[in-house]
Amino acid sequence: MLIRINQDAHPIAPSEITPESLYRGRRNFIRAAGLGAAALAVSPAFAAAKLGAIQKSPLSSTEAPTALKSVISYNNFYEFGTGKEDPARNAGRFKTRPWTVRVDGLCAKPRTFAIDDLLKLAPLEERIYRMRCVEGWSMVIPWNGFPLASLLKQVEPLGSAKFVEFVTAADRATMPGLALPVLDWPYTEGLRIDEAMHPLTILALGLYGEELLAQNGAPLRLVVPWKYGFKGAKSLVSIRLTDKQPATAWNIAAPNEYGFYSNVNPEVDHPRWSQASERRIGEFTKRKTLPFNGYADHVARLYAGMDLRKFY
Ligand SMILES: Nc1nc2c(c(=O)[nH]1)N[C@H]1C(S)=C(S)[C@@H](COP(=O)(O)O)O[C@H]1N2
Ligand SMILES: [Mo]
């Protein structure tokens, strides 16, 4: 069962965590053993390719990144099922190439980008970000990507563009979770334009120096580190500039639980989960959750004068 690396029960004991070197070694072994497309297809964890040159960023956290094994096996991606291990297990038929993302709406130069266009658009950076899920767990993930602003500038947003809407893939043939009526598919998300243009907001194409695996939102996903994880829409197909606040899939599903802003706020509990503390995957004692997930110095000013209990 060499290729089934996603079967561990969580929480993960430190002793169970596979160091990255071992993960790479195992993958190289599988390649060397000549296992073909069929073997790779059942385990998207082994389909990733190494990314090119990656620049370090002063916006990275200095905290220790969560073990790669946890990052790729403990996921929320309901299009592949609602269990934490479902995405890694069920994403094997999902195709991430060829892939295009449409960027349009209120802009002068709407355009469809292929993944290779995106890779030429801006230098890839490493952004080590704290990530916090509304369910009460957190990770530190070394994303590889570039500011969303670099992409938006290419299409020349009009002054009337006040929001950005994100729409993600919804392919019934390869995403078994779409058969479940949990969300109003496709998964959609939104940001205010100033949030979208903020330097912390990135599009990620990889993590740990390799292309994203399907379970993490390949081939590209949004990452907004001061907001709850569900803002980070995976496997994006469309980015649209609008003048109205976009509807979001979680807000449609449960408006009293998920607001448009979704800023990490230890003082505003989710109706079912306290947001005051969190469990960092790989650790046992809980940590206190920080306002804006620790990014207050960067982003608190975006919300000056707003009642963040009302705009949750
Ligand atoms: N398309 C899509 N994007 C999604 C989700 C999803 O179910 N579908 N889940 C969200 C939630 S709740 C979280 S916490 C993060 C998890 O990202 P990760 O699995 O890469 O850590 O993805 C977010 N993006
Ligand atoms: Mo989440």
Give me the average pLDDT of each 10-residue run along the chain (312 residues). 36 38 38 40 58 97 98 98 98 97 98 95 97 98 98 98 98 98 97 99 98 98 99 99 98 97 97 96 97 98 97 96
DSSP state letter for 107: B
Residue 10 domain flag: no
Domain count, the chain: 1
Residue 312 domain flag: no
Our answer on whether the CB atom of 295 is closer than 6 Å to any ligand 1 atom is no
Residue 25 domain flag: yes
Our answer on whether the CB atom of 133 is closer than 6 Å to any ligand 1 atom is yes
Which amino acid is located at 308 in the chain? L
Residue 170 domain flag: yes
Residue 5 domain flag: no
The number of C-alpha atoms within 13 Å of 23 and in the hemisphere containing its C-beta is 21
Whole-number Å distance, alpha carbon 29 to ligand 2 midpoint, is 33
| HEC sequence for 182-208 | CCCCCCEEEEEHHHHHCCCCEEEEEEC
Among 306, 311, 168, 293, residue whose Cα is nearest residue 251:
311
Our answer on whether the CB atom of 75 is closer than 6 Å to any ligand 1 atom is yes
If you write DSSP's letter for every residue of 209-267 in order, what string do you get? TEEPPGGGTSS-EEE-TTB-GGGS--SEEEEEEESSPPP-HHHHH-TTT--SS-B--TT
Q: What is the CATH number of the domain that holds 119?
A: 3.90.420.10
Among 81, 113, 84, residue whose Cα is nearest residue 94:
81
Whether the upstream peptide bond of residue 291 has omega within 30° of 0, thus cis, is no
Residue 202 domain flag: yes
Per-residue pLDDT at 7: 36
Note the pTM of the prediction, 2 decimals.
Answer: 0.87
Nearest residue CA, atom 5 of ligand 1?
77
What is the number of the ligand closest to the CA of 131? Answer: 1
Residue 7 domain flag: no
User: What gap in Å lies between CA 207 and CA 306, rounded to an integer?
Assistant: 34
User: What gap in Å lies between CA 285 and CA 294, rounded to an integer?
Assistant: 18
For residue 214, give its domain range: 17-303
* Spatial contact of 217 and 131, defined as CB atoms under 8 Å apart: no
Our answer on whether the CB atom of 137 is closer than 6 Å to any ligand 1 atom is no
Whole-number Å distance, alpha carbon 162 to ligand 1 midpoint, is 24
Per-residue pLDDT at 47: 56
Nearest residue CA, atom 1 of ligand 1?
234
What is the best residue among 80, 143, 228, 234 to mutate for testing ligand 1's pocket, by most ligand atoms within 8 Å of CB? 234
Our answer on whether the CB atom of 229 is closer than 6 Å to any ligand 1 atom is yes
Nearest residue CA, atom 20 of ligand 1?
216
Per-residue pLDDT at 33: 39
Residue 12 domain flag: no
Residue 211 pairs in a beta bridge with 206
Nearest residue CA, atom 7 of ligand 1?
77
